[in-house]
Amino acid sequence: MHNAVLLNMIQHFGYLALFFALWLGIVGMPIPDEVIVMTAGLVTALGLLNPILAFLLTYLGVVSGLSVGYLLGNQLGAPVIDRLVRKKKTGKYLRQAQAMLNKFGHYALPISYFLPMVRHLVPYLVGISKMPYRNYVAYAYSTGFVWTLIYFIVGRIFGNHIDQIAQMVTRYGFFALAILCVSGFIVWRGVCNGTTDNTSY
């Protein structure tokens, strides 16, 4: 369902739909980030958008959206958390985000990218803790590139199963992501081997 809504947005607004759908994630866009990035991969596989431009706009949407959270936390401080706690279901994920920061320190930022919901809360917390912006960029932008690339490729390969994959990732986190990466690698090797066999004749 999410996939169909996003495809309709892309048909009307093209690349900008990918950017703003991810950028608005920080204020509660109802479409999961994973679905948006995978759909970006899908539409490039279908030839609807240029792969490089689609990836760049998707990546910029991811990192700029999360950077808004960092800046709000850095400038507004604790009142941001008070506002988040009032939202339904946010308290649970906020506790997870805080526990990750207590356990892993700055490394919680790259780890959080792979955990839905927590991904949006950790930037607020590191902003409140006054992490220097250059450190935030080093952790968040590099990890954001890898995260975006993984789901973009998954969307190109498994585009017909985006909603199901998003549900798996939400429920099983890292384990589902690991399975996806292994499956994608197997498919990629199969395609490469098939291409090699065809060119050998």
Mean pLDDT of 151-157: 89
Letter for the amino acid at 113?
Y
The fraction of the chain above a pLDDT of 70, given in percent, is: 75
117 token code pair:
């919901």
57 token code pair:
């706009």
Top pLDDT among 132 and 35 is at: 132
193 pLDDT tier (thresholds 50, 70, 90): low
Give me the torsion for CA of 51, 52, 54, 55, rounded to 10°: 110
Q: Is the pTM of this model over 0.85?
A: no
In residues, how long is the chain? 201
7 pLDDT tier (thresholds 50, 70, 90): confident
Whose tokens are 């690349």? That residue is 15
